């Protein structure tokens, strides 16, 4: 069995994330994708005062109706920084025999060497990256599989900024996520 792992802060989850997950199912032949919101990202803080519960709920809303995708709270429930290698070790213990695929965007490739125990992580899983137009890669790393999946060029930081300015985010996030952001006043300036 092959399972994809899509991790991140999902602050907020956007259509590019959904397209990556759906594309991985088709392109890699994974049977499902686990969405893993980071509890405490080691390389960056979660921008804005958005609790993990809200980020997890937005993922649930984004993947509702997609039976091959599921939310995992593995990093939210584990104390301390959310290191991919720790998550892979735990998943491998819990589900031996699974071929794991870590799904990332090409914008993360320059940071991979700084990930905790990246060599061990790459022995536990195949890393697969989708090219992002805003993050061109001069030479694709030989140890990372390239996923040529069309995705909408959007970022979570762009969405947060658009909400802060009062601009529309329609079409940039799944509609239930858009409604959740507006109903819960996420990312808006507080006076």
pLDDT digit string, tens, across residues 123-149: 999 999 999 877 778 788 889 999 999
Q: From CA 68, how far away is CA 33, in angstroms rounded?
A: 6
Phi, psi of 179 (to 5 degrees): -65, -40
Q: How confident is the model over 83-91, as a mean pLDDT? A: 97
What is the reported pLDDT for 62?
A: 98
What is the reported pLDDT for 191?
A: 46
Tokens read off for 127: 């890393």
Range of the domain at 68: 2-152
In a domain, 50, yes or no: yes
In a domain, 157, yes or no: no
Secondary structure letter of residue 58 according to DSSP: H
> What are the residues whose beta carbons fall under 8 Å from the beta carbon of 144, sequence distance 6 or more?
109, 112, 127, 128, 129
What is the reported pLDDT for 43?
A: 67
What is the distance, to the nearest Å, from the Cα of residue 47 to the centroid of all Cα atoms in its chain? 15
Contact indicator for 116, 83 with CB cutoff of 8 Å: yes
In a domain, 176, yes or no: no
In a domain, 181, yes or no: no
In a domain, 187, yes or no: no
In a domain, 98, yes or no: yes
In a domain, 140, yes or no: yes
What is the reported pLDDT for 190?
A: 56
What CATH number does residue 55 fall under? 3.40.50.620
Per the structure, how many domains does the chain have?
A: 1
In a domain, 158, yes or no: no
Contact indicator for 63, 36 with CB cutoff of 8 Å: no
What is the reported pLDDT for 75?
A: 96
Share of the chain above pLDDT 70, in %: 95
Q: From CA 29, how far away is CA 93, in angstroms rounded?
A: 22
Share of the chain above pLDDT 90, in %: 81
What is the reported pLDDT for 176?
A: 98
User: Which of the two residues, 101 and 111, has the higher pLDDT score?
Assistant: 101
In 3D, which of 155, 169, 151 has the Cα closest to residue 22?
Answer: 151
Q: CB neighbours (10 Å) of residue 118? A: 16
For residue 46, is pLDDT > 80? no
Of how many residues is the chain composed?
191
For residue 11, is pLDDT > 60? yes
Q: How confident is the model over 99-120, as a mean pLDDT? A: 94
pLDDT in tens, 47-81: 567 899 999 999 999 999 999 999 999 999 999 89
* Strands lying side by side in the sheet with 32-37: 69-71, 32-37, 2-8, 99-105, 125-130, 144-146
Q: How confident is the model over 162-181, as a mean pLDDT? A: 97
């Amino acid at each position: 069995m092959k399972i994809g792992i899509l991790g991140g802060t999902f602050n907020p989850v956007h259509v590019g994330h959904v397209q990556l997950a759906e594309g991985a199912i088709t392109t890699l032949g994974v049977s499902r994708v686990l969405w893993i919101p980071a509890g405490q990202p080691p390389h960056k803080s979660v921008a804005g005062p958005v609790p993990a519960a809200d980020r997890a709920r937005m993922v649930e809303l984004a993947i509702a109706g997609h039976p091959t995708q599921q939310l995992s709270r593995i990093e939210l429930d584990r104390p301390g920084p959310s290191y991919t290698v720790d998550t892979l070790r735990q998943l491998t213990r819990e589900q031996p025999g699974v071929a794991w695929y870590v799904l990332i965007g090409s914008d993360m490739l320059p940071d991979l060497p700084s990930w905790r125990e990246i060599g061990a992580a790459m022995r536990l899983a195949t890393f697969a990256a989708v090219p992002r137009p805003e993050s061109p890669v001069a030479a694709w790393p030989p140890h990372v599989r390239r996923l040529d999946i069309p995705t909408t060029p959007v970022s979570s930081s762009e969405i947060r900024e658009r909400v802060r300015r009062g601009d529309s985010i329609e079409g940039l996030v799944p509609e239930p996520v858009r409604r959740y952001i507006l109903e819960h006043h996420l990312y808006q300036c507080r006076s």
